[in-house]
Amino acid sequence: MRSKESLSRLFLTLLVSVSLLMSAFSAHPGLAQQELNPNPPQQPVKLIFIHHSTGENWLADENGGLGLALAGNNYFVSDTYYGWGPEAIGDRTDIPNWLEWFRSENTPMYTEAVFNESGQATSYSRTFADPGGANVVILFKSCFPNSNLAGSPDDPPTPGSDYTVGNAKYVYNEILQYFATRPDKLFVVITAPPVTDPTYAGNARAFNQWLVNDWLAENNYTMPNVAVFDFYTILTGPDGHHRYVDGAIQHTQGAQNTSFYPSDPNGDDHPSQAGNLRATEEFLPMLNLFYNRWAAQAPLSPPEAVQPPPSTGDQDQPPGQVEPPSSGASAGLPGILDDFEGPAPASSAGWEVYWDEATPTRMLCAPANRAAHSGSYALEMDFEIAANSWGTCSLFYNPPLDLSAAQGLRFYVHASQAGLNFDVDLYGGSPDNQETYLFTFEVPPEAVDGWVPVDLTWDMFLRAGWEAEAGTPFSSQGRLLGLGFGLNTFPDTPNVGTLWIDDLQALGAGELPQPPAEPPAQADDLVDAPAVEEPAVAEEAPADAEDSGAESAGSGESPPRGRLCGGAAAVPLGALAAIVLRRRKQPGIV
């Protein structure tokens, strides 16, 4: 008969085991939803590894043996190194440099070279011939100096290119937007190895835990084409693991946050052969899991024209310096606030997405090329707003934008179905006392087949019903803090559909001409149609406003401001008191 003490120990052991198992699955929600398959691909798969010296050692036959192990699992390996690629992009693999690779105007050039590279930049054995075709698995890794991240462990994502926790999170959030456009490729992040200096070791641990456990979840990224392997944790000690064992994924933290396997105890932080061999052993089954999960859902052919607008950061600037974003307006189109063809509009950090994260609301919101009024891109908002919930997409200016010379706003709308309702929001006042004004618009049938112009004068925007002086017209056009698009629902009814917004511009006299239109062929008659008038909606706006909301609803505070994206929504008034808004950033697919 067991004693109470032994039973307590047994119960505690079981509880810890269950907790660890749940934690392992929560770190890989996509993998937890299907059977884990650690077996190698049945057919040869082309893989490329972007790396520097640590990766070189890991690949080498006489060191980590990763090249041979990959070949033994049916992967045909190529790699990049110093001096590789267009503009020697291979020289630059630190965390801030990933923006240049995956979120710059040169991204199409760099990624085309990555996808089509079949050569060896470093030495490792290939045991079978090139099967032909493009690389479909892309591994990329920064070297150990990137574990020296300043700041604090819990710092939020912060725009910038310095070596801090906040800037590093920002970089990875940004590049996720490009990965969302390439579901035909599998991108695997290899975390940077640890260093022996303990100064920033706690920050390195926190950042890599965030990458594995929180990065994709915080962005509601559910596509299977992005995965993380925690090279860092394995190298912090024999008890640090990221592996497949006993039918489950085990991700356990080592006893220390510094390197347990330095190649030279006197200061060389390159991982030793022992550390690299451990990493190889744990990595291959994990890579197979990632690959099999992705291959089960991968498209048969790549999407067309997939490059999203580049990041707002200027990659020619040294670390810690980011140029103010340039305007996204097209040359020769006066009055354009955003045509969604390029970087974030001037004096802004780009479109930000918010939604009620306590519900299963899903939104895709990003410039996309599946429909456009002019140019190639429009803001696409694909959404499934849960019943009695909301989502929104906003653009904030700093300093505020002066539109006092304009009469209002003009944009063009295209939709998946008629009858969709959305709010057009304006934000005035001051950053410390933000005011919300809105106009509710119902999509007409003509917008399903083509593009419909929408003209809204300032007096059509009325103060939100949950704020002071509800129903008063907008009068802050000389100090416009921002604007946005909002979606909410009727009671107990979800709101599902897709909207496209293009050529958002200031509405004025002759000095603000509308851009040339490139409508769908079947909707030529809509292009020259007069501006859509919604007098009935305008008269009902105050009442509608009481059933809608915006980013600051429920908290009375301005929302945090973020980065390029797009989406929309509003809040039912009855839910305002219960909602505490928290921003969610996303890359386009959630």
DSSP letter string, 256-311: -SS-S-EEETTTEEEEPHHHHHHHHHHHHHHHHHHHHHHHTT--SSPPSS-PPPPP
> What is the pLDDT, as a whole number, of residue 258?
95
Same-domain pairing of 560 and 502: yes
> What is the pLDDT, as a whole number, of residue 22?
42
Same-domain pairing of 563 and 501: yes
In a domain, 51, yes or no: yes
Of 268, 295, 322, the one marking the end of a domain is: 295
> What is the pLDDT, as a whole number, of residue 76?
98
In a domain, 80, yes or no: yes
- Residue 512 in this model has a pLDDT that exceeds 60: no
Residue type at 387 in one-letter notation: A
Give the number of other CB atoms < 10 A from CB of residue 71.
18
> What is the pLDDT, as a whole number, of residue 351?
81
- Contact status, residue 520 vs residue 419, Cβ threshold 8 Å: no
In a domain, 217, yes or no: yes
Same-domain pairing of 291 and 341: no
In a domain, 312, yes or no: no
Same-domain pairing of 521 and 572: yes
Average pLDDT, stretch 496-505? 92
In a domain, 19, yes or no: no
Same-domain pairing of 488 and 415: yes
Same-domain pairing of 289 and 350: no
> What is the pLDDT, as a whole number, of residue 543?
34
Instruction: Provide the residue range defining the domain that includes 48.
Output: 35-295
Interatomic CA distance for residues 444 and 419, integer angstroms: 6
Four-residue CA torsion sign, 534, 539, 545, 548: negative
- The CATH number for 445's domain is 2.60.120.430
In a domain, 315, yes or no: no
- Residue 589 in this model has a pLDDT that exceeds 50: no
Question: Structure tokens of 573?
Answer: 């008034």
More confident of the two residues 549 and 257: 257
- The CATH number for 74's domain is 3.40.50.1110
Same-domain pairing of 391 and 254: no
Average pLDDT, stretch 119-125? 96
> What is the pLDDT, as a whole number, of residue 349?
78
- Contact status, residue 563 vs residue 178, Cβ threshold 8 Å: no
Angle subtended by helix axes 201-213 and 165-179, to nearest 10: 20
DSSP letter string, 429-456: EETTEEEEEEEEEE--THHHHS-EEEEE
Same-domain pairing of 265 and 160: yes
Same-domain pairing of 343 and 289: no
User: Which pLDDT band holds residue 368 (cuts at 50, 70, 90)?
Assistant: confident
> What is the pLDDT, as a whole number, of residue 531?
36
Same-domain pairing of 287 and 360: no
What's the chain's average pLDDT? 78
User: Which pLDDT band holds residue 23 (cuts at 50, 70, 90)?
Assistant: very low
> What is the pLDDT, as a whole number, of residue 309?
53
In a domain, 313, yes or no: no
The pLDDT tens digits for 142-171 are: 999 999 999 999 999 999 889 999 999 999
**Cα distances (Å, whole numbers) of residue 518 to 181, 302, 344, 531:** 23, 25, 22, 17
Average pLDDT, stretch 495-512? 78
In a domain, 240, yes or no: yes
> What is the pLDDT, as a whole number, of residue 459?
92
Strand partners, 428: 435
> What is the pLDDT, as a whole number, of residue 350?
81
**Among 21-25, 69-73, 146-150, 375-379, the least confident range:** 21-25
Interatomic CA distance for residues 143 and 32, integer angstroms: 30
User: Which pLDDT band holds residue 308 (cuts at 50, 70, 90)?
Assistant: low
> What is the pLDDT, as a whole number, of residue 588?
30
Of 241, 274, 295, the one marking the end of a domain is: 295
- Contact status, residue 166 vs residue 151, Cβ threshold 8 Å: yes
Report the predicted TM-score, pTM, of the whole model to 2 decimal places.
0.52
**Among 59-68, 98-107, 562-571, the least confident range:** 562-571
Of 264, 295, 326, the one marking the end of a domain is: 295
**Count of domains in the chain?**
2
**Among 92-106, 137-151, 344-358, 534-548, the least confident range:** 534-548
The pLDDT tens digits for 194-246 are: 999 999 999 999 999 999 999 999 998 989 999 999 999 999 999 999 999 99
Same-domain pairing of 378 and 284: no
- Residue 508 in this model has a pLDDT that exceeds 90: no
> What is the pLDDT, as a whole number, of residue 255?
86
**Among 5-19, 350-364, 464-478, 552-566, the least confident range:** 552-566
User: Which pLDDT band holds residue 294 (cuts at 50, 70, 90)?
Assistant: very high
HEC profile of 166-220: HHHHHHHHHHHHHHCCCCCCEEEEECCCCCCCCCCHHHHHHHHHHHHHCHHHHCC
Strand partners, 395: 351, 483
Same-domain pairing of 290 and 343: no
